[in-house]
Amino acid sequence: MVKLIEYIPRELLDDITSGECLPVVGAGFSRNAILPPECQMPLWNDLGARFAKLLGAAFSGKPTDSLSCYCDQRGKLELARILRKCLYINTAKPGSLHTRFAQLPFKHVLTTNFDFLLEQAYGIAGKPYIPVVDQELLGFGQSDGETRLVKMHGDLHHPSLMVVTEEDYDKFRDNREAMFFEVAHLLSCHSVLFVGYSIDDPDFRQVWRLVDKHLKGLRRPSYALLVGATVDEADTYRRRGINTVISLPGTKKTYGRVLSEAFRQIGDAISRTPFGRTDHG
C-alpha cells in the first residue's frame, strides 16, 4: 500500500488536526458519488454542453454562457429543475471519498456545489453539521464538534440563492454581501485546502484576491490536493496563488480511490496523535 500520508506536509496535517484547515470543495469531489450504472456526475463543462444542447445551440466552451442563456429564456426555477436531473439529486449517494472526508475534524467546509452529498456523508458518519446556505444563518452559533457546511453558491433547495448565471457571479458581492465577507473571513483565518476545485469562479477569485491584498505576505498557507497532476495543472494552481500543490500518485480514473485512501490515512494519523501534534515523515 502506498503511504500517501508521506505526501501530506506536516504543517497541513497539524492544521487539520487542530481544526484550523478550511477545505474548499468543488465539482471534482462530487464526481466520485455512487450513481446508477452507466451514469456519471457531470463537471461544469459537461453541464454547459448539456444546456447548450437543450437550447439547440453549439457549446461555446463557456458553461456560464449556456446556463445564463437558458435562465434568460426559461427562468431560474426551470434551470434548477434541469440541474436536479443532471446532478442525480434523487439517486446520487456519497461514496467512501465523501464519508472518509466527513470523519476528519474540519470545523468549517466551504463548497460551491449545489448537491447534498456532503450533508449525506456527514449523516452517514454520524457527525453533527449545519448547512449554511442563506446568509441569514451566518449568525447561528456552532455547537462543539459541529461542522458548518458553508454553501457559497447556494443549493438546489434554494434556487433563488444559486450562483449559476453570469449575472449571479457579477452581483455576488452586492446581493450576498454577508456571505462574501464570511468567505473572506474563513479564508483569512485558516490554512486552505482545495479539493476538486479549480478556482475558476470569478466571485471566489474576487474574494481570494481581496484576502491576498489585505494580508499580503501574512496570509495562512494554501494547498491544492490533486491526483496525477500534470505540469500545466500544477502551474495553474500556483499562478492563482496556491503555495503548495500536492500531487498524489495515480490517474484521473483512480482519483476517487486515491483521495479516499489519503483521507483514511490522514484520519489514522490524527487518531494516533496525542495532544494535537502529528508525527509523520
Which option is the CATH number for 4-34+93-273: 3.90.1150.10, 3.40.50.1220, 3.40.50.920, 3.40.47.10? 3.40.50.1220
Identify which of 21, 24, 25 has the alpha carbon closest to the alpha carbon of residue 105.
Answer: 21
Identify which of 229, 233, 232 has the alpha carbon closest to the alpha carbon of residue 252.
Answer: 229
Single pTM value for the model: 0.93
pLDDT of 281: 45
Alpha carbon of 115 to those of 110, 130, 248: distances in Å?
A: 13, 15, 26
Rounded-to-integer distance, Cα 233 and Cα 92, Å? 28
Alpha carbon of 150 to those of 1, 61, 114, 159, 260: distances in Å?
A: 34, 29, 11, 16, 22
pLDDT of 220: 94
Domain range annotation of the chain:
4-34+93-273, 44-86
What strands lie across the sheet with 244-248, from one edge to the other?
129-132, 147-151, 108-111, 21-25, 191-195, 222-227, 244-248
Tens digit of pLDDT per residue, the chain (281 long)? Answer: 689 999 999 999 999 999 999 999 999 899 889 999 889 899 899 999 999 999 999 999 999 999 999 999 999 999 999 999 999 999 999 999 999 999 999 999 999 999 999 999 999 999 999 999 998 888 877 777 899 999 999 999 999 999 999 999 999 999 999 999 999 999 999 999 999 999 999 999 999 999 999 997 788 999 999 999 999 999 999 999 999 999 999 998 999 999 999 999 999 999 986 544 445 54
pLDDT of 274: 59
The 3-state secondary structure of 152-199 reads CCCCCCCHHHCCCCHHHHHCHHHHCHHHHHHHHHHHHHCEEEEECCCC
